[in-house]
Structure 1
Amino acid sequence: MHMTQTPQAKPRKPRGSLNQQVITQAALRIADRDGIDALTFPALGRELGAHPTAIYRHFRDKDELILALTDELHARAQASGLPATDDWAEDLRVFARRIHHVFMTHPQVGQLVAARTARRPHEFETVEHIIDCLRRGGLPDPEIGRCYRVFTDFVLSYSSMEAALFALDETARQADLRAWEVDYRRLPSERFPNLAMLADHIPPLDSPTNFEFALELMISAIRSRNHPADEPGRSPSSTGPTVE
C-alpha cells in the first residue's frame, strides 16, 4: 500500500539562538530574494525555523526591523574599514561610493531607507566619519554642519532613488528606461526645443556615470565653502537666506 509522506517541518531553532543580528541577516536575504513586500514576521519565522512570536521578542514591529536593516547597510559600507588618508575629498568619494554600491546591491531595502534615521551604532559611525572628513577639509564648524547634512542627504537620497529603479519589476523598469530613448525623442521640437537640442547629451537613467558626476559636483561645492565671502552677492557675514 502506497503511503503519502507528510513534508517534514524545518527544525525549530533552540531557544536563545536568535538575536537581532541573525534576524536582520535573514530579513535581508528575504528582501533580496523575494522583495520587500515578502518580508513579514511569518516569513522570517519560516526562514529561521522559528515561531513568529520569537521574532517579536527582538523586534516589536516591522518598522523597527527596517531601522535595523538601515543600520546593516551602513555596516556593510564600513566592512573594509573607514577610509582615512591625507585627502579628505577622496575619503568622502570612497565612502559615498561604498554606500551607493551597498544600496544597489540590496535595492529592495535600499529604496526604503534614505529618509530613515536608524539610531544605531553603524549609522553613528557613518555620521562621525563624514564629519571628520569635512573637518579635515578646513571648513569652519557652521559650514561643516550644513555641508554634512546636504552631502549625506545627497548620497542617501540619490542611492535610494537608483535602488528604487532597480527594485522595480523588469517590465516597469525597462519601460522607464525606454521612455528616454523613445517617448522623449518623439516630442515635437517646436514645443520642446531645449529637449530636442539636448536629447543626445542626457545620459540614461541607469548610467553609472550619473552618481559619479553628481558626487564631483557636491565635493566641488563643499570646497567652495572654504571661501564663502568670494561668492557673488555674498557678504562675509552672510550665512544663508534670510527668513522674514
Structure 2
Amino acid sequence: MTEAPAEQAGAKRVRLDQRMIVDAMLRLARDEPHARITFKRLGEALGVDATAMYRHFRNKDELLKAALDRIMGWATEAGRESSGTWRERLEVHLMRTAELALEYPSIGAEGAVIDSVGPGDTSAIEFMLEMLAESGLRDEELLRAYAAISGFSLSQSSALANDVLRHPDAARDGSEPWISTFGSINLSGYPLVNRHRDALLAMDGLTVYRAGIAAILDAVELAASR
C-alpha cells in the first residue's frame, strides 16, 4: 500500500481550535502586513485544508472579529497592569490600542467599522468606563466622554493602520506624515496654513493621535473638576 506523504499525515494530526486559528491570523497580519489573508493562506500556515476553518468560523469576517477582539483584550491588559492616575492608565490603554493597530495593520484597519462583540471588546469598554468614573464623571457626562474617547481612538487607530497598508514601505510606528504635501497650491491666500506650513508637514499620524487623546482627556478633567 502506498504511504501518504508526510505533510499530509502531519496535516491530519493537527487538531484545530479557534484560538489556534486566531493565533495564525495574527502572526500573518504581523509578519506579512501587505499580504491578503485568506482561509487558504491560513490553511497553509497551519498545515491543514482551508475548509477546516469553516468548522470553527462561518466566514472570514467572523474570524476577523475574533482577532480584533484579541487585540482589544491586549490593549486593556496593558492599561490594567499599568500604574498611576486614572488618566495615566487610560493613556497607556489608548496608546497600546494604536500600537497594536500598527503592529497588525490588516486587522487594526477594521477597528473603526467592525464591532467585535467579544470579551476583549467588552473588557475595553468596562476599563474605559472605570477610568472615567474614577475621574469623577457620572451618568450622561461619563457616557459622552466614553463615546468621544472610544470613537476617536478606534477611528484614528484604523487610519494609522490603513496608512501602513497603503504604503508598502511605511514604518509601523505611526511616523507617516499627517499632511504629506500642499501640492502646487499658492498658500498666500491661506495665511495660517502658510504660517504653520513647515510644522504641519512635519506632523505625523501618531502625533495627531496623541494630540486628540490629550484634548479629550483635558476636557474630561475640566468637566470632572466642576
Shorter-chain TM band: 0.7 to 0.9
Aligned-partner SS, 2:68: helix
Give structure 1 stretches of 5+ with no counterpart: 1-6, 229-244
Q: Select the residue among 199, 202, 219 that pairs with 1:201.
A: 199
2:214 aligned partner: 216
Shift of 1:104: 1.4
Relative distance call for 1:86 and 1:47 in structure 2 (3 A) is closer
- RMSD over equivalenced CA pairs, Å: 2.7
SS at match of 1:50: coil
Distance in 2 of aligned mates of 1:34 and 1:101 = 17
Structure 2 length as normaliser, TM-score? 0.84
Report 1 or 2 for greater relative contact order, CA contacts < 8 Å, sequence distance ≥ 6. 2
The answer to whether the 8 Å contact 1:203/1:210 transfers is: no
Mapped to 2, the partners of 1:84 and 1:27 lie a distance apart of 28
**Offset at 1:188?**
1.2
Aligned to 1:90: 88
Cα distance, 1:65 vs structure 2: 0.8
Which 5+ residue runs of structure 2 have no aligned equivalent? none
* Structure (1/2) with the larger helix percentage: 2
Distance in 2 (CA, whole Å) between partners of 1:205 and 1:194 is 16
Which amino acid counterpart does residue 158 of structure 2 have in structure 1?
A: S
Aligned residue pair count: 217
2:11 alignment partner AA: R
| Aligned sequence identity (%) | 27
Counterparts of 2:169 and 2:69, CA distance in 1: 31
Query: Which moves more between the two structures, 46-55 or 77-86?
Result: 77-86
Cα pair 2:78 2:92 within 8 Å, conserved: no
Match of 1:43 in 2: 41
Deviation at 1:205, TM superposition (A): 5.1
Note if contact 2:178-2:203 (Cα within 8 Å) is conserved in structure 1. no
Look at both structures and tell me which one has the larger radius of gyration over its CA atoms: 1
Native 8 Å contact 1:72 1:122 kept in 2 = yes
What amino acid does structure 2 have at the position aligned with 1:116? I
